[in-house]
Structure 1
Amino acid sequence: MEERSQRRKKKRRLKKWVKVVAGLMAFLVIAAGSVGAYAFVKLNNASKEAHVSLARGEQSVKRIKEFDPGKDSFSVLLLGIDAREKNGETVDQARSDANVLVTFNRKEKTAKMLSIPRDAYVNIPGHGYDKFTHAHAYGGVDLTVKTVEQMLDIPVDYVVESNFTAFEDVVNELNGVKVTVKSDKVIQQIKKDTKGKVVLQKGTHTLDGEEALAYVRT
């Protein structure tokens, strides 16, 4: 009974910190510009739904001692997935285009973010050296986590992932985002990639979800 009670307490603490991470994601987006309460609620809910459960269970193999999310420092891997729908179904073998590891240090009271380039040449467990983005295509979020843990030799405690559709929805929920377009090459590449559907101009503009996605993908 005592062991079961401890497990229930741990799960409650786990859910609490998943909410904290979700709130942080929403805050990071909101910090980029002024957003109303309605948008905050929508973003916060979307972040919670994006939390991913791992096949390994709650605790990383890199954790020597039992992990207590209510007391210990922790890390969160944020993934932007190249996942789109075809004929109403999500296409398999999606790659991770955006990869950010956020580490929260309780002692120092800091949160640090490390961007992992999608084309970084890394050792993917069971597949040898390849582009980092292919880890997700080979083995989904679980293999991506294993790759990060092996590469950096630190535990990854939580994962939050989002796809292209969610990205567009978030931007549209914010009524667009302001972006300063400076390069003719970027404009040309976007026009080429979208087959003329998205055409931007130099200068500062408010981009909708589709336009913002085309911009960041370059």
Structure 2
Amino acid sequence: MARHAEKKKVRKGRVFVSILLLLLVIAVVLGGIGFFQYQASLKKAEKASQMKSFEFNGAKQDGNSVNILFIGSDSRGADQGRSDSLMIAHYNKKTKQPKLVSLMRDTYVDIPGHGKNKINAAYSYGGPDLVRKTVKENFGIDCQYYVVTNFESFAKIIDTLAPNGIEIDAEKDMSENIDVAIKAGKQKMNGHTLLQYARFRHDAEGDFGRVRRQQQVLTAVKEQAVTATSVFKFPSVLGTVQGYTSTDLPTSLVLKTGMDFVLGRTDELKTLTVPVKDTWENQRIAGAGAVLRVDISANRKAVEAFLKD
């Protein structure tokens, strides 16, 4: 009986090992297919978008958190232009907490080597790396990586993530200075319409309303598109999205962090708009035009408190 029991244990052990080996082979095969899909989609999108690369001397990552500088570019042909939108995405890989800091583009700041101007001028003067230095000097945020996308690429990214559109509860009727009339209320928007909604600022709120709508759009994209993406489609979708941007994000970080979002492991997105309430005033300055004169110290403290893990 003892010998029979031992044989049974051996057979069970062999079956268990065989199952593990089979699962390992399947994982390797699926991983290889996924990586091939990612690379193929990435190259195809890079060829279509022709986004330029930039030098970026990001800070060394320390601990579980990473800060990524996101720049929406209003570039036209060879003209790099100013940044149309500027955000810092913060993610803690341990707590799975995503945060987003939106910096108003008319914020009047010191731009290293160029004196005082609106923060969106930094991109025109020196690309993402000068934006990084400006953000660090004024608000104390160390950014490790950057992502730049233009308007055309944004629309294609949204259509890739959500082929059936993103549902948005539009705040109001919008038609001035945009090429798609938008009615207030819940509706599904494709990439082009969503871009018009996110960029609209021709009302009494100006950029403050626009930044709020950008945050609304990004929250909706996270909830409806990213977390709804199939695990099997994820490598292909990710390659397409990354190909329509200029970025120095490591593939390993993109894949690992992206899977957290796809599998619904992340917490709710928290947002902060800078300048914060009661720390700014409208001014007109020669050479810069209409600006937001802000209390840099107060906003630096607000950002530090918000990003604290």
TM beyond 0.5: yes
Aligned match of 1:11: none
Residues 182, 122 of structure 1: alpha-carbon distance in 2 compared, 3 angstrom cutoff: same
Structure 1 counterpart SS, 2:87: strand
Aligned match of 2:99: 112
Asked if structure 1 preserves the Cα contact closer than 8 Å seen for 2:54 and 2:127, the reply is: no
The one of 120, 140, 149 aligned to 1:162: 149
Q: Which amino acid aligns with 2:143?
A: V
The one of 191, 198, 223 aligned to 1:216: 198
Q: CA deviation at 1:167?
A: 0.7
Count how many residue pairs are aligned between Structure 1 and Structure 2: 157
Q: TM-score if structure 1 supplies the norm length?
A: 0.59
Q: CA deviation at 1:53?
A: 5.0
Aligned match of 1:10: none
CA deviation vs aligned residue, 1:60-117 (integer Å, no higher than 9, x gap)? 3xxxxxx367x56432111111124xxxxx2413222222212344676644321111
Q: TM-score if structure 2 supplies the norm length?
A: 0.44
1:79 aligns with 2:71: yes
Structure 1 counterpart SS, 2:137: helix
Bigger helix fraction: 2
The one of 123, 131, 135 aligned to 1:148: 135
Asked if structure 2 preserves the Cα contact closer than 8 Å seen for 1:52 and 1:161, the reply is: no
Within 5 A, what are the aligned runs for 1:115-194? 115-173=102-160, 174-175=162-163, 176-184=165-173, 187-189=174-176, 193-194=177-178
Asked if structure 1 preserves the Cα contact closer than 8 Å seen for 2:61 and 2:144, the reply is: no
Structure 2: gaps (5+ residues): 1-33, 201-309
The one of 167, 184, 204 aligned to 2:186: 204
> RCO higher in 1 or 2 (8 Å CA, sep ≥ 6)?
2
Structure 1: gaps (5+ residues): 1-36, 61-66, 85-89
For 1:201 and 1:112, locate their aligned partners in 2 and report how far apart those are by CA, in whole Å: 30
Residues 120, 68 of structure 1: alpha-carbon distance in 2 compared, 3 angstrom cutoff: closer
Within 5 A, what are the aligned runs for 1:60-99? 60=59, 67=60, 73-84=65-76, 90-99=77-86
Asked if structure 1 preserves the Cα contact closer than 8 Å seen for 2:56 and 2:128, the reply is: no
CA deviation vs aligned residue, 1:114-145 (integer Å, no higher than 9, x gap)? 11111211111122221111111111112111
Q: CA deviation at 1:201?
A: 2.1
Residues 215, 68 of structure 1: alpha-carbon distance in 2 compared, 3 angstrom cutoff: closer
For 2:117 and 2:96, locate their aligned partners in 1 and report how far apart those are by CA, in whole Å: 35
Q: Which amino acid aligns with 1:118?
A: R
Asked if structure 2 preserves the Cα contact closer than 8 Å seen for 1:53 and 1:159, the reply is: no
Structure 1 counterpart SS, 2:55: coil
User: Which protein is bigger by CA-based radius of gyration?
Assistant: 2
For 1:206 and 1:106, locate their aligned partners in 2 and report how far apart those are by CA, in whole Å: 32
For 2:96 and 2:195, locate their aligned partners in 1 and report how far apart those are by CA, in whole Å: 33
Q: CA deviation at 1:163?
A: 0.9
For 1:172 and 1:55, locate their aligned partners in 2 and report how far apart those are by CA, in whole Å: 28
Within 5 A, what are the aligned runs for 1:41-56? 45=42, 54-56=55-57
1:103 aligns with 2:90: yes
Q: CA deviation at 1:149?
A: 1.2
